[in-house]
Every structure is written in C-alpha cells, then in structure tokens.
Structure 1
Amino acid sequence: MRLTGVIRVAALLFVLGATWLFVRTYFDTQRKVISLRSWLGSSTDLPKAQPPRNKCELKKSCPKNSFAFRISSGAANVVGPSMCFENTILMSGVKNNIGRGLNIALVNGTTGQLLKTDSFDMYSGDIKELLNFLKAIEGGIIVIVATYDDPATKLNDEARTLLTGLGSSYASKLAFRDNWIFIGAKGLQVKSPYEQYLKNDAAKNKYEGWPEILEMEGCIPRKMD
C-alpha cells in the first residue's frame, strides 16, 4: 500500500474516532442534564405552599381575644355529637365521653381551659343530675351543648328555665328527638347568637325518625378581666 493511502486511512479513522467521541460526550452530557432536572423537578412540580390551617378547621381565622369553635349535634342515634374548642376536641365519640341526651362542656371564658364535660340521658335518666349540674355553673363560664338521640323526654320546666337563663332561645321548645346545639353563659343580658334548633318533623326529617345533623362554627369573644 502506498504511503498516501495509509495516511488517508489513518486520517479517516481519526475523524471517525473523534466524531464518535464527540457524539458520546455530547449525549452523555445531555443525559446528565435531563437527569438532574428530573431529580430536581420542574417549577410546576415543586410542592405548593399550603395555607395555614385555622383552629378547629374553621374557614376563617378568629380575631385576637376570641376563641374558635366548631360543634355538631348527633345524627339520629348512630353518630354522636362533636365539640372542638380552640383546636381541642372536648367531646366526641372517639373520646368516648358522649351519651344519649344532652352533652355539655364547661369552659373558662377567660383562659379557654376545659373545666368539665358530662352527658345527661333525657330519655330514661334522672333529671336531678342535670339540675344539679346546671345550678353549679358560675359566672364567666362558657356552656357548650349538643344533643344526641332524644334530648327532651325528661326535660322539665326547671331545667328549661335554667338553660334559658344561659341565653337559649329554644330550650323552652325542645321536644322529643329534636336537634339542638347551643353556646351560652350564665348571666347573659341578651339571647345567645350561637344557637341552632331543628324540630323533629316526620315530613321533613332527613333520617327516619330524626332530623338532620346541625353544625355551627365561629368565634366567641374572650371574657376580659
């Protein structure tokens, strides 16, 4: 083979080798860049900042010097009531501290501290237990009430008067299997705005023999010393 032929072959091999090396290096670099982007994720894949959760899962946060609350009545005789106050569950089926009838929680109106919870069977229980409980409530205490199943069979005039004295507009009307949720306090000069009532009406009941569940949320002004 002539020398010029050897040189041409060598040059061709060199060009092919250089081209192969360039192509390999380029695509390896591209592959690394793609992998890096994939690992980091594009801007649209980055987790979005979640809005801060309000106390008791309220739709809006409560202003300063107020307490957040969310309460619900029982649903028929199947699902019990629930009370959340300042992001703490006071009473619920999960806490196993609810019962048929009237479920009541007492909270310090200044500090928001839970003082006591109890339930009173208004179908076959002793009304004296409820009367003693209501009579012992002192001024400055927030009273939260939620019904479950039947709240009124044993409810007498004295008990209704005591509940009315806490600011209720519907305690005097409460009847068999009605639904009722209420927040009041002893010595209120006006009726409480935190109250909902639904009458047991066979023509309108959501459940067979019981009205639908009641739910209420909002902010209660803190009692200032």
Structure 2
Amino acid sequence: MWLNRQSPVPKRQKCDHWSACSPGSYAYRILSGGGKEKLAKICFEDELLISEEKGNVGRGINIAIVNYKTGKVTSTKFFDMWKGDHSGEMTAFIKNAPEESLLLMVTHDDGSTRLKNDAKKSVEELGSKEIWNMKFRSSWVFITAKGFKLPDDIQKEKINHSDQKKNRYNGWPAEVQIEGCIPRNLI
C-alpha cells in the first residue's frame, strides 16, 4: 500500500536560481523586458534592484550599480532612449560609477533609437560586444565590473533581435536573461 506523502518543497535559491551559488559568491539575475507588460528586472543577492515592484524600471536602458566589496546597491537609474536625449546623461552615470563596482544593465522596450556613439563607446569600454549591434527594441542584458575583471567563465551579455513579427509579443522581442554567481574574492 502506498502512503500519500508530499514531496518536500524545494528550497528557494537567491534570485530564483535553480541551484545555490557557492558560499562566498554573489547571486544575480538580469531579465530584459518582453512586450509592453513584462518589464525588466535586475536581482542581486536576492534583492530586486530594478523592477516593476520597486517602481524604478523604465523604457530604455536600466542600470544598477553595486559596490562589489559590500554587495550593496549604490545607485539605479533608467535612460529613455526613445523620447529625449539621455545618452550624455547615461555616459556620465557610467563614468561616475565608483571603481570596484558591478554594473548591471538591461533594456526594456527601446534602448537604441537615441543611443549615441559616445554612450555606446562607454559601454563597449566596459566589455560589451553587443552594444553596437542593438536595434529598435532589441532585448539586451549585460553585467560588467569597473576597476577589476570578472571571471571569463560567466556569461556577461546576451541580446535578442530576432524576427519580432513571429513571437508571442506581437512585434516586440522576447525577453532574454543571464544569471550566475560572482566570487566575492576578485579584488
């Protein structure tokens, strides 16, 4: 006779990872927006830094700056690349990020229409290989370090600008995400 036993509920991991990061590592997940209703999110060490719930996500490029040594967010901001000229403001925000910071970047809706070359160059200098390839409404996520180097074996960037007419968002690109663990002993 079989007993009716419930399986134990799996333990929830930081930032909803499937498996836990090793002790001495930071957990992160960066999820781009998808369609009008699915807004971008940045999670770091199980704290939503940018999200609809926090009310600080916006159209364009969303950036969170985290102090690497403490793991605490120091600043978040979004830069609307559809309406107005915010490239210079974004470039200054990136350049003013303190050394020994992590920068987590994500798009929602359009991050490219008014993105000027000086802003693209500042992101490229941080290690982005895809910033020059962004198109109208491309979904893009990026994590980088300022003043030190991230391990080569972590995924740092992902972009999607596939055929937007053939997806579930009717002309909007599907979301992309990266997640991982960053050792706390890099500097």
TM-score tier (shorter):
0.7 to 0.9
CA RMSD of aligned residues (A): 2.3
- After TM superposition, the structure 1 = structure 2 runs for residues 1-225 of structure 1, keeping only pairs within 5 Å, are 44=3, 48-126=7-85, 127-187=87-147, 193-202=155-164, 204-225=166-187
Q: What 5-or-longer segments of structure 1 have no aligned partner?
A: 1-42
Higher relative contact order (CA 8 A, sep 6+): 2
Structure 1 or 2: more helix by fraction: 1
Q: What 5-or-longer segments of structure 2 have no aligned partner?
A: none
How many percent identity over aligned positions? 37
Distance in 2 (CA, whole Å) between partners of 1:201 and 1:148 is 17
Query: Cα distance 1:224–1:194, how it changes in 2: closer, same or farther (>3 A)?
Result: closer
Distance in 2 (CA, whole Å) between partners of 1:103 and 1:217 is 17
- Determine if contact 1:139/1:186 at 8 Å carries over to the other structure: yes
Query: Cα distance 1:72–1:202, how it changes in 2: closer, same or farther (>3 A)?
Result: closer
Normalised by the size of structure 2, how large is the TM-score? Answer: 0.87
- Mean Cα deviation higher: 191-200 or 52-61: 191-200
Deviation at 1:123, TM superposition (A): 0.9
- Determine if contact 1:56/1:84 at 8 Å carries over to the other structure: yes
Normalised by the size of structure 1, how large is the TM-score? Answer: 0.74
Distance in 1 (CA, whole Å) between partners of 2:117 and 2:123 is 10
- Determine if contact 2:140/2:158 at 8 Å carries over to the other structure: yes
Across the two proteins, how many residue pairs are aligned to each other?
Answer: 184
AA in 2 matched with 1:215: Q
Query: Cα distance 1:203–1:76, how it changes in 2: closer, same or farther (>3 A)?
Result: closer
Distance in 1 (CA, whole Å) between partners of 2:186 and 2:149 is 17
Distance in 2 (CA, whole Å) between partners of 1:205 and 1:161 is 31
AA in 2 matched with 1:210: W
Structure 1 or 2: more strand by fraction: 2
Distance in 1 (CA, whole Å) between partners of 2:147 and 2:168 is 36
Deviation at 1:216, TM superposition (A): 2.0
AA in 2 matched with 1:101: G
